[in-house]
Amino acid sequence: MPTPQMGPFHQPALGPMRLLLFDVDGTLVSTRGAGRRALERAMRDVYDTAGDIEAYDFHGKTDPLIVRHLLSAVGKRPEDIEAGLASCFTRYLVYLEREIGDGAEVTLYPGVNELVDALARREDVLLGLLTGNVEGGARIKLSPTGLLPYFRLGAYGSDSGDRTVLPAIAAERARNLTGRVFPGDAVMIVGDTPLDIECARAYGAWVAAVATGRHTSQDLALHRPDFLFHDFSQTATVLKVLVNGA
């Protein structure tokens, strides 16, 4: 992990550590549909169909769940779907790497770079990812941004197709890394969809929603997140909320 220079938001650790888990697509970055295009090609290679992928809502869902939904809807047998998953995602990563290319089409949402940099300077915060992307996909999408090294652990769609179990996986990896236990009240999940809110609630974690993805602030407010942001452009305010719950 890089060692950022000390900045205006740095504070020494004074108490318990908080585990902050960020979603990727719609929360940190936009890849302008690269994942959808890569997955469609991979599914056609392996299953000879991608179902109605153009109409399907990817937001907040894990990659394996997306494949299962799309193929079940066109009559593929569950055992055939499962048999092809590993091959499908191997091909997906190859196609995604090509789609991302030099990263010119990967864009960070407002304030993301400043927020992650500020959080990474703190000793009372452990940064991680919680995403429906398979691990390789998350790495490919974040690599061009330069932010990937700041996220010291993650829980991914490749760990489970059920997003609600991912917080517990991330917390266990954080325990293995730090020797600290991270119960729900020591975890903050940050995402842009109602499914991010749902998975936080399943673990008893705090949840901060951000309206940089498909869902508006009004949509997200209906699901009663603990905190709600339009974006991360007000870095100092967002930082205070994520670290202190204030």
Q: What is the DSSP string of the chain?
A: ---PPP-TT-----S--EEEEE-SBTTTEE-TTHHHHHHHHHHHHHHS---STTT---TT--HHHHHHHHHHTTT--HHHHHHHHHHHHHHHHHHHHHHHTTSTT-EEPTTHHHHHHHHHT-SSEEEEEE-SS-HHHHHHHHGGGT-GGG--EEE-TTT-S-GGGHHHHHHHHHHHHHS----GGGEEEEESSHHHHHHHHHHT-EEEEETTSSS-HHHHHTT--SEEES-S-SHHHHHHHHHH--
What CATH number has the domain bearing residue 53? 1.10.150.240
Contact 60, 132 (CB under 8 A): yes
| Tokens 């903050």 sit on residue | 188
User: Among all chains, which residue has been given the structure tokens 């339009």?
Assistant: 230
The answer to the question of residue 214 being in a domain is yes
Pick from 100, 135, 157: which residue ends a domain? 100
Classify the C-alpha dihedral 108-61-21-229 as positive or negative: positive
Does residue 118 share a domain with residue 55?
no
Domain membership flag for residue 4:
no
Domain membership flag for residue 224: yes
End position of a domain, from candidates 68, 100, 132: 100
Residue 20's nearest CA partner among 118, 137, 141 is: 118
Distance CA 209, CA 146 (A): 23
Can you tell me the distance from the alpha carbon of 108 to that of 60, in angstroms, rounded to the nearest whole number? Answer: 18
> Do 126 and 164 share a domain, yes or no?
yes
Mark whether 145 and 164 lie in a shared domain: yes
Domain that holds residue 92: 34-100
Cα(140)–Cα(144) distance, rounded to whole angstroms? 8
Same domain assignment for residues 204 and 113: yes
**Please, is 60 exposed, middle or buried when counting C-beta atoms within 10 Å of its C-beta (0-12, 13-18, 19+)?**
buried
The pTM assigned to this predicted structure is 0.92
Measured CA to CA, the distance from residue 40 to residue 50 in angstroms comes to 6
CB 119 within 8 A of CB 235: no
95 CA to centre of own chain: 20
Q: Which residue, 100, 125, 145, sits at the end of a domain?
A: 100
Residuewise pLDDT in 10s, the chain (246 residues) = 333 333 333 333 435 799 999 999 999 999 999 999 999 999 999 999 999 999 999 999 999 999 999 999 999 999 999 999 999 999 999 999 999 999 998 999 999 999 999 999 999 999 999 999 999 999 999 999 999 999 999 999 999 999 999 999 999 999 999 999 999 999 999 999 999 999 999 999 999 999 999 999 999 999 999 999 999 999 999 999 999 886
